[in-house]
Structures are given as C-alpha cells and as structure tokens.
Amino acid sequence: MTRSPAAPGGTLVLDSEGLARAVLRDRTVTTWLALARADDLRVITSAATLVEVVHPRINRPALEWTLSRIVVEPVTEAVARHAAALLTSAGLHGHKHAIDAMLTATALASPGPTTILTSDPEDLTALCAGHATVIKI
C-alpha cells in the first residue's frame, strides 16, 4: 500500500535548538529535514518555540526561510491545558519547563509516529512519557 501525499507518515518536531540549528544549516539537522521530506513527514514546531529562538543576532532572512518550510503550530487553549497536564504527570512545574511542555503537547497532538529533535532530552522524555521518540541533537 502506498501512502498518499495528503496523509503524512508521521511528524518531526523541532525544539528551539533544532530550529536554531536549522536556521544555521547545521549538517545533522539538515540531514534530518531531508529524511523527513523523503519520508513524507510533517515538520513542525510550536509557536512558543519562536519566543526562545528569536534574538537580536539571529539571521532573520534565514529564520524566515526556515519557517516557510515547516509548520508553526499555534498554542491553543487545548494545547495549553494538555501542556499543564503533562507537567503535572511528569512532576515538573514553572516557567523553566513551560515551553517544553507546550512543544510536547503540540507534538503529541500531531500525526504519529512522532520524533522530537532536542538539546534537552531528559525533560522532553519525561513529558512525552513514551508517546514520542526523543532524539538528542
């Protein structure tokens, strides 16, 4: 059975480090992005992740080009409530983990299987509770 292009085979999720490295054209991340494209995976990030990535020295044209090639998912009330529940389940709280929780809730709401590229695998693994693959980059 062949998948239709309208039915992706899963989702690749970029956290702030994954997105920042994509902007910098990091070889590891660009390889992941090429594999995702070849395997018909959706590539996403959370709108909350943009808050972490945007800073005065970022290459804005490169950021905008990268964002044009991925889906930036909004943080809805449902995502925020799910993120809060994930924090509680993982025994985490506070602003230190809030964006990771919103990214994880976004990832878990996406078509699976889901893979998250991150520089923070410990917290994201705890938040995912086995429902997504977490890869350290």
Per-residue pLDDT reduced to its tens digit, 10-43 = 999 999 999 999 999 999 999 999 999 999 999 9
Q: Give the CATH number of domain 11-113+126-136; options: 3.40.50.1010, 3.40.50.720, 2.40.50.100, 3.10.20.30.
A: 3.40.50.1010
Per-residue pLDDT reduced to its tens digit, 76-118 = 999 999 999 999 999 998 888 999 999 999 999 999 999 999 9
Contacts of 84 (CB under 8 A, 6+ apart): 101
Give me the residue label for tokens 């920042």: 20
3-state DSSP helix/strand/coil % of the chain, to nearest 5: 55, 15, 30
Q: What is the pTM of this model?
A: 0.91
Query: Are 114 and 5 within 8 A, CB to CB?
Result: no
Contacts of 18 (CB under 8 A, 6+ apart): 29, 45, 117, 118, 119, 137
CA pseudo-torsion sign 19, 23, 24, 28: positive
